[in-house]
Structure 1
Amino acid sequence: MPYINALQRQKAIFLAGMSGKRPAVPFQAVELRRAAQQRLSARAWAYIDGGASDEVSITANVNAFSKVSILPRMMRGDASSDFSTRLFGQDLAFPLLLAPIGALDLICPGADRVVARACRNVGIPMIFSNQAGTPMETCAQDLGNTSRWFQLYWSKSDDLVLSFVRRAETCGCSAIVLTVDTTLLGWRSRDLALGYLPFLRGLGIAQYTSDPIFNALIEHGEGTAVSGAPKPKVTLATIRNLLQLKANYPGGFAQNLFRKAPLEAVRLFTNIYSNPALSWEQVIWLRRQTKLPILIKGILRPDDALKAMDAGADGIVVSNHGGRQVDGAISSLSALKAIRKTLPKPFPILLDSGIRSGSDIFKVLALGADAVLLGRPYAYGLAVGGQLGVEEVILNMLNDFELTARLAGCRNVQEIDESMIDDQSLTGPV
């Protein structure tokens, strides 16, 4: 579907209201989140909505935006506008992409494909999650000609890392987003309280189970044991979870009932998923392996931003992983200003974590970012309304951003700069 500008969509919504029809997807962030919670299981909600420890950084991400005020200019003659931008040689209708979110099948079966089709319909790029429930190749087909990037976690197998990169190249991904803040899994209190990790049930590991290198490791017996890992006590719950794993594994329950591969795959995954030894030298190595642009995601310090550039990165994503890794970490927005000063334009800087409205997008661009990644809100939309819910959330964000920018006197992204905001109370690292 072509983009529907804010005024046209407002008119359509109000006219539908005359017939008693109201939008099914809430517009305000608080209401959208509440509606999603009502539709999700406790386990799904904990994983999608939760963060590290006491979740201080989740709150900080959202609250940081209230410390920045917009300074609208009047009478600018904004009868028309164009908020398109260009990143890594590609034209984008808006400076917005969907962030990678793992284990979306917790929300609904085939969730990654649902999101891909929504992105295709609204023309917004999707970043495939390393922890997706559907292989990247399948999602690429659903996206059609819509742009796609691939998020990469660096496992303990460099061969597997390179295999993921080659597959991303082959299925048309136009950038690699190397996430460096998850070399260890954060202390996620809500998941811990439930004793629940979706990957152990076979959710969110489709990039692995569809990979020839990963499957070769299983065939060589690498998944038969995990060094130092205790085995769960056999109970009825253990049996139910193992049966659920077999159902979630490619091929389905009947095909996997007597196979050891599902359990071996999960064991292998838990053994190699993250790599605490990840270093800048490996980024330099990756730069030599692919011609695709490489972005380093998880940067919060100016000195790390410089290291990323020196290692050959083509851009960075300022992010604290939505508050899911280091509780008490600086908010992404608070970190942005100093990082932008350290790496002045045209070096590409994107930002995620805490974006809940179109005005948030405006503030991020005014502080110097080139684009934003939208995370939890589209997952909430998926829970509320499936594919239509994702599309509605994206359009709500874009329409809100369009009106905010035009009412503030900006007709394109170039006019959204630091002169448009007051951020005196927002401080970051020096």
Structure 2
Amino acid sequence: MNIASISDLEKIAENKLSKHIFGYYSYGAQDMISTKDNSAAFDRIKIYPRVLRDVSNIDTKVNVFGKTLDSPIFIAATALQKLAHSDGEVGAARAAKRRNVVYSLSTFSTGSIEQVAESLNPNLWFQVSFFKDKNITLSLINRAEKAGFQAIIVTVDMPYSGRRLPDIREPLTVPDHISFANFVSETDDKPSDGWIGHHVVHGVESNLSWDSIKWIKANTKLPVLAKGILSPEDAKLAVEAKIDGIIVSNHGGRQLDSVPATIDALPGVADAVQNRIPVFFDGGVRRGTDVFKAIAYGATAVFVGRPNLFGLAYNGEKGVDLVLDILNEEFKLSMALAGCSSVKQINRSYVRKMPTYTSKL
């Protein structure tokens, strides 16, 4: 079968991965209302195309922090990518390099900061969590900066882990040959005894404030982005804190269930920011039309997380190549058929939200 869509890759990933691993990648918090709505919400938005325009040349380039990137489709930070394929984070970063787009690395990756830097992708961003021990957070930031990463993404929506029912019923066990690579000691190939349980569950700091963001900004020369913003009020505070960028995200619906789909939250955040800093987006993107809609609502670029995992599960690094090929081809076609020859031309006049939508497919 010829693979035609991200949906095709998702079905293949579900068949190839163990039920436990696929479940870990796909489940969200509580009843998964927000996880499911992240994708479904795009169906409530319709594109109103303009016709009789010159779309013979389509330019998908975007400028981010002074760098020109070939597409606004970036790869989001997700943990434990080697559970999908041995190529893991390094392979995915190489795929992103070939397309001159951002690859973001999770603190809880299975390829270390230094190993992923060897992918030679010049557009690496590092997503860091706040730990109760500030030295851990600072060490990770310093390592990323030294390795040549270009930005720091701060997770701001995880003072506690969300209540993820499948993981309560049957906790994920990481195989012995896979480790949280950023925490492996020089004398061991696994984190020290008790590290994972202590620091993932109990080691993340819950006493956070905008001063915490300011502390990170004071300890790096890199641009700092806050990931996990949903409310316009927090977006305004982010600007006041002199944050360099916002990622509108609900953590893939894995934190607080019943929060809005990120595409529903995006317009309010973009309005609050008023173009003072770039606004990025993640959550539920599965099609090129989703990318178009997010940009129309104010996103500079979008991050895709689970599609990257589906691609890895399908065929490692080459599978991620395919994911980016599919999404970029669909996005370019969406632009052309909507009457936009460059990303800069995409705006809210092209989209309208419908009150309800029922799919019979």
The match for 2:193 among 240, 263, 266 is 263
1:113 paired to 2:52: no
Kept after mapping to 1: 8 A contact 2:72/2:101: no
Distance 1:201 1:154 in 2: 26
1:66–1:149 Cα change, 3 Å: same
> Would you say the 8 A contact 2:58–2:335 is kept in 1?
no
| Distance in 2, Cα, partners of 1:30 & 1:110 | 22
Q: Distance in 2 between matches of 1:85 and 1:406?
A: 17
Matches within 5 A, 1:333-348: 333-348=263-278
Structure 1 residue 250 corresponds to structure 2 residue 189: yes
Equivalent-residue separation in structure 2 for 1:129 and 1:298 (angstroms): 14
Moved over 4 A (4+): 200-204
* 1:1-56 Cα distance to aligned partner (Å, 9 max, x none): xxxxxxxxxxxxxxxxxxxxx54xx3333332111100001221111111111111
CA–CA separation in structure 1 for the residues paired with 2:32 and 2:7: 17
Residue 83 of structure 1 aligns to a residue whose secondary structure is: coil
Task: Indicate if the aligned counterparts of 1:359 and 1:404 stay in contact, CA closer than 8 A.
Answer: yes
Any unmatched runs of 5+ in structure 2? Answer: 357-361
Separation of aligned partners in 1, 2:347 and 2:200: 44
For residues 267 and 416 of structure 1, do their structure 2 counterparts lie closer, same or farther at Cα, with a shift above 3 Å needed?
closer
Displacement of 1:271 in angstroms is: 6.4
- CA gap of 1:264–1:190, structure 2 versus 1, over 3 A, is closer
How has the CA–CA distance of structure 1 residues 177 and 202 changed in structure 2, closer, same or farther, with 3 Å as cutoff?
farther
The residue that corresponds to 1:384 in the other structure is 314
Counterpart check, 1:373 vs 2:303 = yes
Q: Is the 8 A contact 2:122 2:149 kept in 1?
A: no
Matches of 1:106 and 1:49 in 2, distance apart?
13
Does the aligned pair in 2 maintain the 1:104–1:204 contact within 8 Å?
A: no
Q: Tell whether the 8 Å contact from 2:94 to 2:121 is kept in structure 1 after alignment.
A: no
Q: SS at 1:263's partner residue?
A: coil
Q: Does the 8 Å contact 1:175/1:293 carry over to 2? A: yes
Aligned with residue 130 of structure 2, among 150, 154, 158: 154
Higher relative helix content: 1
- The answer for the alignment partner of 2:114 in structure 1 is 137
Q: Could you tell me which of 141, 156, 170 is aligned with 1:180? A: 156
Change over 3 Å in CA distance of 1:405–1:44 after alignment to 2 = same
Instruction: Please say if 1:282 is aligned against 2:206.
Output: no
User: What's the offset of the Cα at 1:145?
Assistant: 4.2
- Equivalent residue letter for 1:46: G
- Map 1:13-412; keep pairs closer than 5 Å: 23=2, 26-142=3-119, 144-196=120-172, 198=174, 203=178, 205-209=180-184, 250=189, 262-266=192-196, 268-270=198-200, 273-412=203-342
Contact 2:228 2:251 in 1 (8 A): yes
Which deviates more from structure 2 when the two are superposed, residues 262-271 or residues 188-197?
262-271
Contact 1:191 1:197 in 2 (8 A): no
Query: Number of matched residues?
Result: 356
Superposed CA offset, 1:198-238 (max 9, x none) = 4x96855211225x8xx9xxxxxxxxxxxxxxxxxxxxxxx
Is the Cα–Cα contact under 8 Å of residues 99 and 373 in structure 1 kept in the other structure? yes
Tell me the distance in 2 between the aligned counterparts of 1:177 and 1:115.
18
Return closer, same or farther for 1:67/1:73 CA change in 2, 3 Å cut-off: same
Q: Distance in 2 between matches of 1:395 and 1:370?
A: 20
Determine the C-alpha separation between the residues in 2 that align with 1:202 and 1:181.
Answer: 30
* 8 A Cα contact 1:181 1:297, kept in partner: yes
What is the TM-score of this pair, normalised by structure 1? 0.79
TM-score (norm 2): 0.93
| Counterpart-to-counterpart distance in 2, 1:82 and 1:137 | 33
**1:57–1:328 contact (8 Å) kept in structure 2:** yes
Percentage identity across paired residues of the two chains = 32
Asked if the contact 2:75/2:104 (under 8 Å) is kept, the reply is yes
* Secondary structure in 1 matching 2:127: strand
> CA RMSD, aligned part only?
2.0
Cα separation, partners in 2 of 1:145 and 1:133, compared to 1, 3 Å: closer
CA shift at 1:423, angstroms? Answer: 2.1
Distance in structure 2 (CA, Å) of the matches to 1:117 and 1:270? 27
Gaps of 5+ in 1: 1-21, 216-248, 252-260
Once the two structures are TM-superposed, the CA of residue 346 in structure 1 deviates from its matched residue by 4.2
Aligned match of 2:359: none
Q: CA deviation at 1:275?
A: 1.0
Paired residues of 1:209 and 1:265 also in contact (CA < 8 A): no
* Deviation of the 1:112 alpha carbon: 1.2
Instruction: Give a deviation string over 1:380-411, Cα, whole Å, max 9, x none.
Output: 11111211111001110001000110111001
